[in-house]
Structure 1
Amino acid sequence: MKLSDVTLREGDQMPGRNYTTDQKIDSAHQLDKLGIDFVQAGFPATGEKDQTVITELAEAIQADVVALARALIADIDAALDANTDVVDVFIPVSDLHLEHLLGMSRDDMIKMLGDAVDYVYDHSVEIHVTLADAFRTDTENLIEVIETVPQAQYVTLADTVGARTPKSVEKILLDLKGNIDLSRIGVHFHDDLGCATANTLVAYNIGVAKADISIAALGERAGNTSLEEVVAACSTDRGNTLGIEESKLIPVCKQVLNTLGEEVDERKPILGNKIAEHESGIHTAAMLENPATLEPYDPQRFGGSRQLLFGASTGSSASRQILERAGVDFDDNTVKNYKEVLTEQGPLTFDESITLAKEMFGD
């Protein structure tokens, strides 16, 4: 499954955000270090900023640069003028969106999309198509639309309002699989129900060819599928890195967040500063023996680090291990005294705890 990063476009559309040209260009260069297949750098029809970003990146990064465009000639021209590698033409396909967003019939929508795709094809640029609100569209209608755009290398099905859960995503994709070659199908999920990453993993298991992802799930409303979560999950559970440089995952994601002025919760999966921090006495004792006891993966695998803390909750077992590693000869009374000082001075890091043991009992 190829990955298309939408951080720079979706993140920039969040309320109160207005990433600068330099922020987007710098972030794209950082993303490129990961080995991302596609970077959706912007929506050129919105103005000069995204046009400049796409023009500069198209010749500068290894990833294919994607420009978003509505199924309108003016939007497509803006993308073409920016010398993008890929034009991603999007159009609503659900009955609800056709009525209230486009105000046109399904037949008219299909003609509009066909004309737009033909126009891109005539300019010899790679074509992707995104079907908005696809996961609230009848399967028969999806098949009809997909079959009308054979020129598109990928057709992405978007869960535009984050309305689907893994069970319904599985059903829709399996229904399609009997009629459509999934090697052309991509997915785009929003996290309104907290299911974006899970939905993407379901799509991966079924065999879709491409997924839109975003660093730290940055995106409109509740955000999009999290890049780092999908990569870590596929790598640890399926042995597939999706072409991403594992050891660079956390550092690059944090670099991009810093460049864009974005923050994440300290308990955010993969990226949060607290997720590999352990203080419970039972936990730290086990972690000193074998970290895999209470971690799904070694944080260093993805460029992170763990933190063991010792203090009031540290038990006798962990205290003995620290004293032993500090090279201290100890008995039960030594352990008792050490625990008392840990309680007073903690929480301390592992290195600080070793130093304390040496100061208290060293020769």
Structure 2
Amino acid sequence: MSETGDEIQARTGGKYVEPGGEFTRDQRYIATRVTADGRDGWPVEPGRYRLAVSRACPWANRLVIVRRLLGLEDAISMAVAGPTHDARSWTFDLDPGGRDPVLGIERLAHAYYKRFPEYDRGITVPAIVDVPSGQVATNDYGQMSLDLSSEWTAYHREGAPELYPERLRDEIDEVNAVVFADVNNGVYRCGFAGTQEAYEAAYHRLFDRLDWLSERLAGQRYLVGDTITEADVRLFTTLARFDPVYHGHFKCNRQKLTEMPVLWAYARDLFQTPGFGDTIDFDHIKRHYYQVHRDINPTGIVPLGPDLSGWLTPHGREALGGRPFGDGTPPPPPPPAERVDPAHTPLR
């Protein structure tokens, strides 16, 4: 899961807590992009690329949601790795024979080493893999979701929403920057802190930003403008994991999400929107964090709670107005092969 998984394992041999201080994320990603003009050597071409994800990972979850909302399922296929991994790589252990049926590989690492034989950074999801060559094209998750909106427009479904409209990009970028620093990454700064002082600083920074977000969202339905944008996608994937893992496992425990009325209603609103909740696999999420982070949870025991039944309760956010998809339409249900196992989302 981005730096929180394989990158840290590669650097520390499987340890996640930052010894002696503050967790700092390694953000060295493969910067090449898949673009309409192919300027980096990877041109947009339907059927050519495979998006490798894990449903456990919040960074990968963003790509799954954006791909769904834009209707790019037929243009970009998806490989789903299992929820846990070892220090070597994410594995395709959910597939028959433990091998991805399109890429023909057991570990995502093979696609990285196919392009960079001496690759010395994390084998991360999400990643876009070029199927013909078997090489990873990019793993720069922040840019990847923006490129799905701006570079793949020729293959968007009819009625696809504008998730990164030009008129709002500056504001979206500003919101994304503080949400990333204080919330998306902030929960990890709490969970992987190596000292009491580092943990407390991260804890206060996280909840100060959550309070700021509550104030912002008290009077408007979405983070930027009156429709769903990239900013909402990025916040949602952290909120969806807050009570199942971050509250207890990462000690982000001033309040549960369910005890923050505005953010809880906002998260339920998005969860109940097609393309959001239908991508969430709570079983994979919990298994990943509790079974992989053994220096935080040495036993690997996965808790049975929390109660997830509230995700489908009325949220009342319609009263704030807004149009979820703007002039567009909701996405259709996910393809059968990509549907989350109902047993992994007990509220269904």
TM-score, length-normalised on structure 1?
0.31
TM-score, length-normalised on structure 2?
0.32
* Structure having the higher Rg: 1
Higher relative contact order (CA 8 A, sep 6+): 2
Greater share of helix: 1
Greater share of strand: 1
